[in-house]
Structure 1
Amino acid sequence: MNKPLFMRIVTRLANEVSFFQRRRDATGRLGLSGLQKATTAIRMMAYGCAADAVDEYLRLGESTAMSCLENFVEAIIYLFGDEYLRTPTPQDLQRLLDVGEMHGFSGMIGSIDCMPWE
């Protein structure tokens, strides 16, 4: 993921979703930043790592990592769902087919198992 896209996502999350806003805890210390929380969720999804695998790198525990992932997914659907998580139009499908064909995958539309789509 390129940095401007990542920062756009993090900024929207921090501005519009309370979970991703940095707050002080009961002792007055600042909690995790939206950047840490979003990075945790994206790393878990991108690399398929377990929640306890991000504790040393991002300094948070397993239950917090799981909470970051759950809130991230819900927030992405809420913030970007109407724009990006929609049924593809015939024009979208044709564009995907054309790009796939340019790369030698005729009849493929985002297929993991490389089976053609009718």
Structure 2
Amino acid sequence: MHKKVFMRIVNDLSSEYEYFTLRYDAAKKVGLSPIQKCNAAIRMLAYGMPGDACNEYVKIGASTAIECLKEFCKGVIHLYEGIYLRKPNTEDLERLLRVAEDRGFPGMIGSIDCMHWEWRNCPVGWQGQFRGGHQGAATIILEAVSSFDLWIWHVFFGLPGTLNDINVLDRSPVFDDLE
């Protein structure tokens, strides 16, 4: 994650939620900084690490890391749901279709891509069905559709086995309004 994006999230959360401000305890000792709290939450989300693993890098206890994760998720959803965590509306689709047509791809709203994502914490009983053909470890397929401006409009962690390779995108009723 770029530092600018990370700091924007930290600053937005700090300005809206008291939990993400620098506070002092009863003994006048400085508590955790907003950067530490957000760093712990993002590390847990990005790397799938447990709360107690945050102690080594971020210097934060397991229960506090889990609390940070819960507050971080609530805050991000509240702050960014209307802008970034929404379905595309008619204006978005019209803009995407217009740009794609100008670039020589009429009818395209985005690019679909799939990748194997290593699942280090895959339960032992499931590892056989999630073992990729070209991977040595258990993997799950991450499918994403993004537009030219890097907005992600669809994300799906796939099913085990060969079902990962079968993707059918049907015509959504949203497109009917555009014709």
TM-score range with shorter-chain normalisation?
0.7 to 0.9
The separation in 2 between residues aligned to 1:98 and 1:85, in whole angstroms, is: 17
Partner in structure 2 of residue 66 of structure 1: 66
Partner in structure 2 of residue 105 of structure 1: none
The separation in 2 between residues aligned to 1:30 and 1:111, in whole angstroms, is: 41
With over 3 angstroms needed to count, the CA separation of the structure-2 counterparts of 1:73 and 1:13, relative to structure 1, is: same
Moved over 4 A (4+): 92-97
With over 3 angstroms needed to count, the CA separation of the structure-2 counterparts of 1:42 and 1:112, relative to structure 1, is: same
The separation in 2 between residues aligned to 1:85 and 1:60, in whole angstroms, is: 29
Unmatched 5+ residue regions in structure 2?
A: 101-107, 114-143, 146-154, 159-164, 171-179
The separation in 2 between residues aligned to 1:117 and 1:93, in whole angstroms, is: 17
Q: Identity, % of aligned pairs?
A: 38
Shift of 1:93: 7.5
Aligned residues: 112
Out of 78, 88, 111, the position equivalent to 1:99 is 111
Amino acid at match of 1:84: Y
| Structure having the larger proportion of residues in strand | 2
TM-score (norm 2): 0.56
2:162 equivalent to 1:117:
no
The separation in 2 between residues aligned to 1:111 and 1:48, in whole angstroms, is: 17
TM-score (norm 1): 0.83
Larger Rg: 2
The separation in 1 between residues aligned to 2:89 and 2:168, in whole angstroms, is: 18
Deviations 1:75-111 (A, max 9, x none): 001111111111223518867843338xxxxxx6334
The separation in 2 between residues aligned to 1:67 and 1:29, in whole angstroms, is: 20
Q: Mean Cα displacement is larger for which, 79-88 or 5-14?
A: 79-88
| Structure having the larger proportion of residues in helix | 1
Partner in structure 2 of residue 49 of structure 1: 49
With over 3 angstroms needed to count, the CA separation of the structure-2 counterparts of 1:117 and 1:64, relative to structure 1, is: same
